[in-house]
Amino acid sequence: MTDGHPRHPAGGADADVVIVGARCAGSAAAIALARAGRRVIAVDSARFPSPTISTHLMWPGGLAELARLGALDRVAALGAPRLPLASVEIPGVRAVGGYSAVDGISYAMCVRRAGLDLALVETARAEGAEVREGCRVTGLLWSEGRVAGVEVNERGGRSYALRAPVVVGADGRRSTVARLAGAADPYLRRRDGRACYYAYFADPHESLRAVASQWRQGAELGTAFPCDGELTLVLLMPPDARAPDFRKYPEKEYDRTIDELLPGLAERLRGCARRSRVFGAAGLESYFRVSAGPGWALVGDAGHFKDPVTAQGIRDALRFGRLMGESLADTDLSAGEVDAVLAEGERRRDRECLEAFYWTDRTGRADPVGPLDVEMHRALRAGPALMTRFLDVYSRIIRPSEALTTPRLAGWTARALLRPGTDRPALLRFVARTVRELRQERREAHRMRRYGHETHR
């Protein structure tokens, strides 16, 4: 048990924990460790503030994680508006609702990553963590079959070793730590159905800057999230098959998609002006990696990534980075205790994230708007409490299956089948496919809960 006072690492180590990556997950772990008096060094190849590709929306559950880290005030000072309302719209149906509170927070926020990540780094330093910028990890140090530190190359050429009994990889989807530890190949993966392209718009519509909005039409999906700098983040998530068009003419295809394929979003942006180039990513894959081994662990996107369509990545990075830091801080850093804590952290992540992973996979498919979507949106519009219930899934207050229940699905299916014009054979095929997938997901979840990942190691 730590007493909150700084300690000197034992055995000639440079730190109790070395963290590779100092963005959301890495800073969260560093904050928790330093707050408990542990000597922690985080290294990152970036120099902050530094942007990174991200959709950067946080639901109340994500903001609550910032508050637990003591970083919410710094983040709020960046000027992003509070978003107490969410709007979802398909042709002919728009539903608007609010959130349940998480630790007293009942609004979302969209914060550009350069400012968000810097606020987290500053919070980590204020707690006593050392953050070294412009430093790239090039290797792992090993001792008696355990990771015992990292090899670092500073921007400018100097190379050195950092020794620690624990190395945490918080270095993103292309994690160097995962690759060097032999964990880069996921044991569970799904190809994402949508690509992501976003830009920032000057937004004069003050009356609309309290709403996080989504539009779907056909197979297209677009969002508008007011953010800091008096801007609005406009994210398009077209079917991944359209990615070649965006790669060839990104701005032209981005503007065309809004103007011709998403008229509701085009109307929202009337009077707004694009103030950035188009940023994008395509060919994404969602996954779980083995994320704990002798002396090493992975957090954030390094260990687990979900399609950005449900905006869960920042929340999970903050939460599981913090929980790992708190758990490690409460050990004597002996090999057996460290490995047990890291393995339990991985199991906890999987228990909390697996259902959200499958839900996000289904949500992110490029299926066109169908009759079930129509019935669901009509139900959300008619029932503000139901709308809040569905938003609670995004905040991770409840599991997806607690909102998208079997009776609700059955009722919407029955109404859709009775509605004139419904393609009944197509709807029944879609429902049958969904039921098969839900059964398969439950079997996989049961196997993972019962047996863990021994078969993947």
What CATH number should be reported for the domain whose range is 17-56+112-190+285-361?
Answer: 3.50.50.60
Domain 193-281 in this protein, CATH class: alpha beta
- Which residue, 171, 118, 130, is CA-closest to 38? 130
- Contact by Cβ (8 Å): 188, 445: no
What is the structure's pLDDT at 444? 74
Distance separating alpha carbons of residues 57 and 110, to the nearest angstrom: 4
The pair phi, psi for residue 132, each rounded to 5°, is -105, 120
Give the residue carrying structure tokens 């197979």. Answer: 219
DSSP state letter for 51: -
Write out pLDDT tens, residues 302-351. 999 999 999 999 999 999 999 999 999 999 999 999 999 999 999 999 99
% of the chain residues with pLDDT over 90: 89
Q: Is the pTM of this model over 0.85?
A: yes
- Contact by Cβ (8 Å): 182, 264: no
Across all residues in the chain, what is the average pLDDT? 94
Q: Is the predicted pLDDT of residue 75 greater than 70, yes or no? A: yes
The pair phi, psi for residue 100, each rounded to 5°, is -75, 150
Write out pLDDT tens, residues 197-208. 999 999 999 999
| Preceding amide of 60 cis, omega within 30 | no
For the residues of 99-146, what is the DSSP string, one character each? Answer: ---BTTB--BEE--HHHHHHHHHHHHHHHT-EEEESEEEEEEEEETTE
Report long-range pairs for 249-257 (Cβ below 8 Å, ≥24 apart).
Answer: 250/197, 250/277, 250/278, 250/280, 251/277, 251/278, 254/197, 254/199, 254/278, 257/220, 257/222
- Contact by Cβ (8 Å): 76, 67: no
b/e 100-118 (16+ beta carbons within 10 angstroms → b): eebeebbbbbbbbbbbbbb
Q: Among positive and negative, which fits the CA dihedral 320, 326, 332, 333?
A: positive
- Contact by Cβ (8 Å): 77, 255: no
Q: Is the predicted pLDDT of residue 443 greater than 80, yes or no? A: no
What is the structure's pLDDT at 434? 84
- The lowest-confidence range among 8-22, 89-103, 230-244 is 8-22
What is the structure's pLDDT at 433? 86
What is the structure's pLDDT at 155? 86
- The lowest-confidence range among 165-169, 356-360, 363-367, 433-437 is 433-437
Q: Where are the domains of the chain?
A: 17-56+112-190+285-361, 193-281, 371-456
